[in-house]
Amino acid sequence: MKPVQESAEASTERHFADRVVDRAELIDSRLIVGLDPDIERFPRYLQDRIRVDRSPDILEEVVVEFHEAVIEATSPLAVAYKPQAAFYEQYGLAGLRALQRTIAMLRERDLPIILDAKRNDIAHTAEAYGLAWLSRSRPVLGDDNDWRVDALTVNGYLGQDGIQPFLDVDPFAGLFVLAKTSNPSSGEFQDLLLKDEKIMNYEQMALLAKQWGRETIGERGYSRIGLVVGATYPEASKRLRDLAPTALFLMPGVGAQGAGYDSVALGCGKDGFGAYAASSRSVLYGFDPERGANEGNWRLAVVEASSTEAEKIRDGVQQALNEK
């Protein structure tokens, strides 16, 4: 007898970290695909459709169609997807509608969704952010929240007052707290030593996140509070794994920013599933522009390029883990 398959809705009623680690183990991957719609980099055929009449409706459709192709290509290889809110917001309501439809598309496929929005506030305002993105129903209306995602990136600079309201919105949702980010100037603040000159700011943030999440650890040994750890800093990856053994790591920088796979391997826990390479541009935009110039070829060009790059990253991290 075949096992009863869990519905997408039932699946989301599970501890976020458990769900991520289970999927990573199932497909043997540590890749998270970022969705950063930049229409200037879309296949020329899709760009031309928008330029014909500058219609917001066409823009929305084009973004959704592009995402459909990328998700089709990468879903067998991706543990989760990470839409970046700013790339949708820049296109106004059309972009937000495209985000809404992309979230629905991923939910229908039971694929974990991490919204990269880096929200940051305290008390009622933090709660409102959480209700917007993590609640299962909308305030007052009480209907299904079609904006709902499974996890959200947040800034922990305001302390626990800026974290707890997000946690309280939903008992299953996850957070990723900024710790050591991938950008070159991150060290201007994150690498500063604290007063005792024993640990850096980013290390203290990891210790705080560990403390904030200590009551939220799931069956797979990870808490609902993970860390954003740039794969561009392998020494920080290893150090943070030692400091925060129960945190999932969301690791941008692999691909377009040139980070190595070894950094992701160093961030993995003893089970090999604690760290995930988050790659956007290299997966989304590696297609041959000439093949993207007409209706018949653009989709195939995107599918082939995205799947090839996703497989490359998945295999690269696996090899680095084997050599660890």
Among 2, 118, 198, 210, the active-site one is: 118
Contacts with 150 (C-beta within 8 Å, 6 or more apart), sequence order: 12, 16, 19, 80, 112, 113, 114, 172, 173, 174
CB atoms inside a 10 Å sphere around CB 207: 14
CA 126 to CA 169: how far, in whole Å? 10
Half-sphere exposure of 105 (CA within 13 A, CB side): 20
CB atoms inside a 10 Å sphere around CB 262: 19
Is 118 among the catalytic positions? Answer: yes
Is 81 in contact with 123 (CB distance < 8 Å)? no
Strands of the sheet containing 275-279, edge to edge, are 80-83, 31-35, 275-279, 249-252, 225-229, 174-180, 151-154, 114-119
Is 86 in contact with 153 (CB distance < 8 Å)? no
Catalytic residues, which ones? 118
